[in-house]
Amino acid sequence: MNTQNPPAHDDARMERGLAFVRKHNPAAAKALLEQLSDIAPDLVRLVAEFPFGDMYARGGLGPKLRQAATLTALACGGHEAQLRIHIGIAHSLGFTRDELVELFMQLAPYAGFPVTINAVLAVKEVYPAS
Amino acid sequence: MNTQNPPAHDDARMERGLAFVRKHNPAAAKALLEQLSDIAPDLVRLVAEFPFGDMYARGGLGPKLRQAATLTALACGGHEAQLRIHIGIAHSLGFTRDELVELFMQLAPYAGFPVTINAVLAVKEVYPAS
Amino acid sequence: MNTQNPPAHDDARMERGLAFVRKHNPAAAKALLEQLSDIAPDLVRLVAEFPFGDMYARGGLGPKLRQAATLTALACGGHEAQLRIHIGIAHSLGFTRDELVELFMQLAPYAGFPVTINAVLAVKEVYPAS
Amino acid sequence: MNTQNPPAHDDARMERGLAFVRKHNPAAAKALLEQLSDIAPDLVRLVAEFPFGDMYARGGLGPKLRQAATLTALACGGHEAQLRIHIGIAHSLGFTRDELVELFMQLAPYAGFPVTINAVLAVKEVYPAS
Amino acid sequence: MNTQNPPAHDDARMERGLAFVRKHNPAAAKALLEQLSDIAPDLVRLVAEFPFGDMYARGGLGPKLRQAATLTALACGGHEAQLRIHIGIAHSLGFTRDELVELFMQLAPYAGFPVTINAVLAVKEVYPAS
Amino acid sequence: MNTQNPPAHDDARMERGLAFVRKHNPAAAKALLEQLSDIAPDLVRLVAEFPFGDMYARGGLGPKLRQAATLTALACGGHEAQLRIHIGIAHSLGFTRDELVELFMQLAPYAGFPVTINAVLAVKEVYPAS
């Protein structure tokens, strides 16, 4: 453990971030803590604080638009594990399965069909049949 | 010119696509035709037909969510010229400048700050100051 | 299922595309239909129509050169599932195993050795030993 | 300006980050503020706070190793403007011109020669001849 | 200059590589030497030796198929300077302008239209009108 | 096997490269030979000669800085199998587990958190608990 690195952290930001993930994808929050807490406790803090605690707490953009940005970035980057987590969050934020399929179909002309197909198969795995 | 390649095209799809770009970003429609019509006329058709004629005509997803997917894919892919075109289309579809800035800020944790910064600078160039 | 989205489709394009995949990689055609038909029937149509129905029906470029473009794009993009499908198509189009190995070795200086190694291991999986 | 979004910020983190950039690349600090302060003031804060205020203040890794990670990520991502900024920071952190050339040459087998060549040309632009 | 690094080089490989570039794109050979010889002489050697001296001297794959792999990797990686150099080499190897346009159109379904459009515009710049 | 392609190889470079991998990650050296020797013997030679025989034999940069470049390029490129091999080499070159975690945390602002998380999980798999 990196004990020389305490300065940047902030319990309020971390709690707000963990609360967001626990609300919208509790299994992912648990897995994040279990997988990373031993090897990289500061990374757990950073993930809780910055993307979840800071960014998802911001206004100025509807939550579905914000989540569309996250989902597209993860699909285009080929980050399959994180994409599954955020498809779960998208479900909790009100996306229907067909909206997600449609969102990922829109990527085909800009990032290619493989990106679309892989993301749609991830939706199929994560979502209950509608 | 590739005269052996007429089969796949369809005037209705092409017209629908060109009408969409002319409505939402007329300068981009003009530039597309001027830059590519001589060297790759079939590519002009494919771009008009498939992304603009087919995909943007689809329902099942709000137009701002659909455009958020396009914008994110282009920002993450580093496609600056196409990103500028689609920021113009986003303006026409009702995105405010601040919403776009917020959308691109959301990419920082997932694709890195450089993607966000480059996209925000593109918004600054394309949008009139608000 | 997205029932609001019928307009863009064209049975001739779709049939031509499905015929191409059935001829050159029947197992892939079957898997495509089985995996995606329930969740994203319009995506199945788009894949059949555009890449397979439109692009592979075009002239103006030898079929092995066309397939080299597809294979390289998939290897560089890290799209392993689609790369395996298209290695199977390459076999049907007349590529020998050694030609494919040589094609992917050529990527090492431009995209790095990991891209080459992963693609060569995919060839080894898909091709019968020569 | 996004006035609904004040919560996550922290003057100590921001000041620490700005101090780091001002020390190691004052021209870049000035440009960052000038280019982004009007359109995206919260992005300026996030950049100052998170990468510069949080990450560069961490211990547990030598400053040259930390900077090698940044430089490589920017070179591999094709982020040329940010790469130039961080080559300037690398100079201030004690990298010689030849060390940077050597660092970027090491990328050739893993990310391809174009990544190496573009990064070396950036070193040539930014560094005074040695 | 890195004087501690002589061991790996081989004049025969370097000469063969430089001869290839001089034959197929003499302006690029000159620019490579002029841009990099002062800052990174060993990189000039590596580029001459490995991609040009080793890979392009290999048999087992037709020269147009080999060049198709290079062109696609560069287009998909967004490496515009190197893509222009290799479009010039492609011309010398016998690709017509229309074949190159067709090759890059084939990338649209797999890597997205922006990759295709940027590559086709590069062909337009490099090739004399046909 | 590609018997027409002997010219570029050099036993001294290959032996030096194999000796490096055998010393720093013997399991990886064995796997490389076993997986690729039958299908792509020349690729085994190229990998042994160029990245391991040439690049790792160079001076002018400390071995940990050189390895940081390799590790970052592999993490950013999403090349998980090669990343694991090079985490093993990093261990042999003297990186502690916490240094590696810190190195990969530094990528979060530049390449996104998913790159960091995937690389840290790879460290956890490869490294014995510290």
Contact criterion met (CB below 8 Å) for F60 and E2: yes
Residue of A nearest to C35 (CA): A121
D83 contact residues in E (CB cutoff 8 A): none
Compute the average pLDDT of residues C12-16. 94
Cβ contact, residue pair B76, A79, below 8 Å: no
- CA E47 to chain centroid, in Å, comes to 10
Query: How far is the alpha carbon of A73 from chain B, nearest alpha carbon, in Å?
Result: 6
- Write down which residue in B23, B41, B58 finishes a domain: B58
Does position B33 have pLDDT exceeding 70, yes or no? Answer: yes
With respect to residue E3, please indicate whether it lies within any of the assigned structural domains.
no
Same domain for B102 and B75, yes or no, is yes
Same domain for C70 and C124, yes or no, is yes
**Preferred mutation among E39, E54, E56 to probe F, highest tally of F CBs within 10 A:** E54
With respect to residue B4, please indicate whether it lies within any of the assigned structural domains.
no
Does position F58 have pLDDT exceeding 60, yes or no? Answer: yes
With respect to residue A24, please indicate whether it lies within any of the assigned structural domains.
yes
Same domain for B33 and B82, yes or no, is no
Compute the average pLDDT of residues A52-74. 98
Q: Does F77 touch chain B (CB under 8 A)?
A: no
The span from the CA of F119 to the CA of F107, in Å, is 10
Number of domains into which chain B is organized = 2
Neighbors of chain C with 3 or more C-beta pairs under 8 Å:
A, B, D, E, F
What pLDDT does residue A29 have?
A: 85
What pLDDT does residue F1 have?
A: 36
What pLDDT does residue B29 have?
A: 85
List chain E pLDDT tens, one digit each, 130 residues: 344 454 456 789 999 999 999 999 999 889 988 999 999 999 999 999 999 999 999 999 999 999 999 999 999 999 999 999 999 999 999 999 999 999 999 999 999 999 999 999 999 999 866 5
Cβ contact, residue pair A43, F98, below 8 Å: no
What pLDDT does residue E33 have?
A: 87
With respect to residue A89, please indicate whether it lies within any of the assigned structural domains.
yes
Compute the average pLDDT of residues F2-19. 73
Helix (H) or strand (E) holding B14: helix B11-24
What pLDDT does residue E109 have?
A: 98
Same domain for D78 and D129, yes or no, is yes
The Cα-based distances of A41 to A2, A38, B66, C9, F108 in angstroms read 8, 6, 37, 51, 15
F48 contact residues in D (CB cutoff 8 A): none
Same domain for E118 and E68, yes or no, is yes
CB pairs under 8 A between C and F: 50
Compute the average pLDDT of residues B36-54. 96
C119 contact residues in D (CB cutoff 8 A): none
Q: Which two tokens stand for residue B114?
A: 């450089």
pLDDT digits (tens, 9 = 90+) for D13-49: 999 999 999 999 999 889 988 999 999 999 999 999 9
Same domain for A42 and A70, yes or no, is no
Q: Does C109 touch chain D (CB under 8 A)?
A: yes
Same domain for F75 and F93, yes or no, is yes
Enclosing domain of residue C22: 10-58
Q: Does F120 touch chain D (CB under 8 A)?
A: no
pLDDT digits (tens, 9 = 90+) for C40-49: 999 999 999 9
The span from the CA of A25 to the CA of A28, in Å, is 5
Contact criterion met (CB below 8 Å) for F107 and D73: yes
Same domain for E71 and E130, yes or no, is yes
Q: Does E66 touch chain C (CB under 8 A)?
A: yes
Q: Return mean pLDDT, chain C.
A: 92
What pLDDT does residue B9 have?
A: 64
Residue of F nearest to E53 (CA): F8
**Preferred mutation among D42, D58, D61 to probe A, highest tally of A CBs within 10 A:** D58
Same domain for B66 and B125, yes or no, is yes
D114 contact residues in C (CB cutoff 8 A): 110
Q: Does E12 touch chain D (CB under 8 A)?
A: no
Does position A3 have pLDDT exceeding 60, yes or no? Answer: no
Residue of F nearest to E11 (CA): F8
pLDDT digits (tens, 9 = 90+) for B62-101: 999 999 999 999 999 999 999 999 999 999 999 999 999 9
Query: How far is the alpha carbon of D76 from chain E, nearest alpha carbon, in Å?
Result: 10
CB pairs under 8 A between A and F: 50
The span from the CA of F101 to the CA of F32, in Å, is 26
Q: Does D114 touch chain E (CB under 8 A)?
A: yes
- Write down which residue in F58, F74, F89 finishes a domain: F58
Q: Does A2 touch chain D (CB under 8 A)?
A: yes
What pLDDT does residue D7 have?
A: 47
Low-confidence ranges of chain D (pLDDT < 70): 1-9, 128-130
Q: Does F124 touch chain D (CB under 8 A)?
A: no
Q: Does E111 touch chain A (CB under 8 A)?
A: yes
CATH value at residue C88:
1.20.1290.10
D48 contact residues in A (CB cutoff 8 A): none
Same domain for A43 and A68, yes or no, is no
pLDDT band at F38 (very low <50, low <70, confident <90, very high): very high
Q: Which two tokens stand for residue E58?
A: 């290999």
* Of the candidate ranges A8-12, A48-52, C31-35, the one whose mean pLDDT is the lowest: A8-12
Does position C118 have pLDDT exceeding 60, yes or no? Answer: yes
Same domain for B50 and B65, yes or no, is no
What pLDDT does residue B2 have?
A: 40
CB pairs under 8 A between A and B: 96
What pLDDT does residue A121 have?
A: 97
Residue of C nearest to D117 (CA): C110
pLDDT digits (tens, 9 = 90+) for C64-104: 999 999 999 999 999 999 999 999 999 999 999 999 999 99
Query: What's the predicted TM-score (pTM) here?
Result: 0.94
Q: Which two tokens stand for residue E101?
A: 């346009």
CA atoms within 13 A of residue E130's CA, in its CB half-sphere: 17
Total residues belonging to chain F: 130
Same domain for D98 and D51, yes or no, is no
With respect to residue B117, please indicate whether it lies within any of the assigned structural domains.
yes
Between residues E28 and A62, which one has the greater pLDDT?
A: A62
With respect to residue C2, please indicate whether it lies within any of the assigned structural domains.
no
With respect to residue F4, please indicate whether it lies within any of the assigned structural domains.
no
With respect to residue F100, please indicate whether it lies within any of the assigned structural domains.
yes
Is the Cα dihedral A19, A25, A30, A34 positive or negative?
negative
> What residues have CB less than 8 Å from A56, skipping those under 6 apart?
A17, A20, A66
Cβ contact, residue pair D7, A57, below 8 Å: yes
